[in-house]
Amino acid sequence: MPVKILIRYGEIALKGKNRRFFEDFLLQNLKQTVRGSAAQIVRLRGRFLAIAPEKERDKIISRLSRVFGVVSLSAVQPAALELPAIQAAAAALVQDLAPEAPLTFKVEARRSNKSFPLTSPEINRLVGAYILEMIPHLRVDVHNPALRLSIEIGQEEAFLYHDRHSGPGGLPVGVTGKGLLLLSGGIDSPVAGWMAMKRGLAVEAVHFHSFPFTGRRSQEKAADLCRALALYAGEIPLHMVSVTAIQKEIRSRCPEELGILLLRRMMLRAAEKIARRRGLEALITGESLGQVASQTLESMAVIGGASGMLILRPLLGLDKHEIVDRARAVGTYAISIRPFEDCCTLFVPKHPATRPSPKRVEEAEAALDIGGLLEEALAGAELEFIKE
Ligand code: ATP
Ligand code: MG
C-alpha cells in the first residue's frame, strides 16, 4: 500500500487572485523535491497530496518538510466518503496505535466538502462513539487527549491522521523573484540566504576568495554551505570570484584603515555585475546592525553606496544568538564554524574606520583602476551548480 501524505500550505491561500500562481510554483517545487523517488504529487482543493511507496515514507516526509510554502504535513489514512467507512478506518487506525494500553483520545473532524451530510460535531460524536464501542478500554478526553484523531472530509475521500510534521512556512522559492546572496564562510550569510528563500526568492550565491592566500578549504566551505541551503531550494548556482588582485591593489595604494570597506565596495560592484548578467534582481547580505566596525549605519551606507542595486539584509533585526539558533535549525552552523581563513580577515587593519566619510572613500578609490580590476576578477570567475 502506498502512503499518502497530506501537504498543507498557509500564507499562499491568502493571496487572492495570485493564489493559482503561488500554488503552481509550490506544486513545481514539491515535484522537484521528490524527483528521483517514486513519489507523485497531486493537487487537491487547498491542499496537495504526495503518494509514495511505504518504504520511502520517512525520506519523502523529511524532504517535503523543507519546502518553503509548506506549513505542515501528515501521513493520512484515506477512507470513502461514507460514515461507516470513516468509522471503520478510524477504529483500525486507533487500534494500530493502541493495541492494549488504556488511552485517551479525541476526534477532530473538519469539513472542506460541505456537501457531506454530517456536520463536524456530528462526525466527532459518531466516530468517537464507534471507536469506544470497538475498543472499550479507551476513554474520550476533549481537553488533554493522548491521541488526537483528525478527520478531513475532502471532495473525493476522507483523510484520517494523528501526526503532524511542521514545514518551514514562507513562500515557494522563486515566486517573488531572484536574488544574489553574498556568501562568506561565516555564520550569518547562509542564514540570510535561507531567510531570503523563505520569502520566495530563488537564490544564486557568490563567494569571494583570495586564493592562494586563503586555502582551497574556504572555497569548499562555501560550496558545502550552498549544499546545505540547496536542501531547501533544489539547486544553487555558486559563483567563485578571486579578489586577490583587488586586495593587493587596495593594500598598496589605499589607506590601511579603509581596507575592508574598499574591499566590500568592490565585492558589491562585482556582485552587481554578476546579478545583472544573470537576471537577478537584488543582492542579499548577512549584515546585521552594530555587530562589527563595517556594520555601523555609516559603513553600511558607504558600502551599499557602491551598488545601485536593491540590497536586502534579512538579518538586520536579529541578535547574534538568534542568528546562531537559526543557523543550527537550518543546518548551516556546523559548517560555518569550521576553521578557515576569510579573505577579509587576512587584511584586517588594526583600526578599521567606523565612521568613514564618503569623500575620503572616493579619494582613496581614485587610486584604483576599478573597471579594470572588476573585469579581471569576473573574467576568472567560476560557476558551479550545487545540489544537495
Ligand atoms: P558572515 O557571518 O556572513 O561572514 P559577518 O558577521 O562576518 O557575516 P561581515 O564580515 O561584515 O559580517 O560581512 C558582511 C556580509 O558581507 C556577509 O554577511 C556577506 O554577505 C558579505 N561578505 C563578506 N565576506 C564575503 C566573502 N568573502 N564572499 C562573499 N560575501 C562576503
Ligand atoms: Mg564574515
CATH for 57: 3.30.2130.30
Helices vs strands, H then E, count in the chain: 14, 15
| Residue where a domain terminates, one of 166, 190, 211 | 166
Q: Is the dihedral of CA 350, 352, 357, 361 positive or negative?
A: positive
Residue 182, ligand 1, Cβ within 6 A: yes
* pLDDT (tens digit per residue) in 307-348: 999 999 999 999 999 999 999 999 999 999 998 767 666 566
Instruction: Answer yes or no: do 25 and 121 share one domain.
Output: yes
Per the CB < 8 A criterion, the answer to whether 184 and 286 are in contact is yes
Instruction: Answer yes or no: do 86 and 206 share one domain.
Output: no
* pLDDT (tens digit per residue) in 147-173: 999 999 999 999 999 999 999 999 999
Q: Quick one: which of 53, 58, 49 has its CA closest to 37?
A: 53
Instruction: Answer yes or no: do 202 and 159 share one domain.
Output: no
* Weakest-pLDDT range from 57-66, 227-236, 315-324, 332-341: 332-341
Per the CB < 8 A criterion, the answer to whether 343 and 210 are in contact is yes
Instruction: Answer yes or no: do 146 and 200 share one domain.
Output: no
The span from the CA of 184 to the CA of 86, in Å, is: 54
Alpha carbon nearest to ligand 1 atom 30, residue: 182
Residue at 245: amino acid letter: A
* Weakest-pLDDT range from 16-20, 209-213, 266-270: 16-20
pLDDT at 187 over 90: yes
Instruction: Answer yes or no: do 257 and 127 share one domain.
Output: no
**287 Cα–ligand 2 center, Å:** 9
* Weakest-pLDDT range from 35-39, 96-100, 134-138, 184-188: 96-100
* pLDDT (tens digit per residue) in 14-32: 556 778 888 999 999 999 9
In a domain, 261, yes or no: yes
Instruction: Answer yes or no: do 141 and 10 share one domain.
Output: yes
Query: Across residues 293-320, what is the average pLDDT?
Result: 91
In a domain, 147, yes or no: yes
Per the CB < 8 A criterion, the answer to whether 157 and 63 are in contact is no
Q: Which ligand is nearest to the CA of 323?
A: 1
Give the confidence band of 82 by pLDDT, cuts at 50, 70, 90. Answer: very high
- Rounded to two decimals, what is the model's pTM? 0.92
Instruction: Answer yes or no: do 216 and 114 share one domain.
Output: no
Instruction: Answer yes or no: do 161 and 190 share one domain.
Output: no
Q: How many domains does the chain have?
A: 2
The span from the CA of 161 to the CA of 181, in Å, is: 39
In a domain, 33, yes or no: yes
pLDDT value at position 179? 98
In a domain, 23, yes or no: yes
Strands 235-242 and 382-387: antiparallel
267's CB contacts (< 8 A; 6+ apart) are 182, 208, 243
In a domain, 172, yes or no: no
Query: Across residues 347-369, what is the average pLDDT?
Result: 83
Residue 332, ligand 1, Cβ within 6 A: no
Alpha carbon nearest to ligand 1 atom 21, residue: 182
Instruction: Answer yes or no: do 16 and 160 share one domain.
Output: yes
In a domain, 329, yes or no: yes
Query: Across residues 114-141, what is the average pLDDT?
Result: 94
pLDDT value at position 348? 66
Domain of residue 138: give its range.
Answer: 3-166
| Residue where a domain terminates, one of 108, 137, 166 | 166
Residue 274, ligand 1, Cβ within 6 A: no
CATH for 362: 3.40.50.620
Assign 3-class secondary structure to 52-108: ECHHHHHHHHHHHCCCCCEEEEEEEEEECCCHHHHHHHHHHHHHHHCCCCCCEEEEE
Residue 294, ligand 1, Cβ within 6 A: yes
Instruction: Answer yes or no: do 144 and 215 share one domain.
Output: no
Instruction: Answer yes or no: do 149 and 238 share one domain.
Output: no
| Residue where a domain terminates, one of 121, 139, 166 | 166
Instruction: Answer yes or no: do 224 and 118 share one domain.
Output: no
In a domain, 372, yes or no: yes
pLDDT value at position 100? 67
Give the confidence band of 62 by pLDDT, cuts at 50, 70, 90. Answer: very high
pLDDT value at position 77? 95
In a domain, 132, yes or no: yes
Residue 337, ligand 1, Cβ within 6 A: no
Please provide the average confidence, as pLDDT, over all residues in the chain.
Answer: 92
Best residue among 183, 189, 337 to mutate for probing ligand 1's pocket (most ligand atoms within 8 Å of CB) is 189
**184 Cα–ligand 1 center, Å:** 5
Query: Across residues 279-297, what is the average pLDDT?
Result: 88
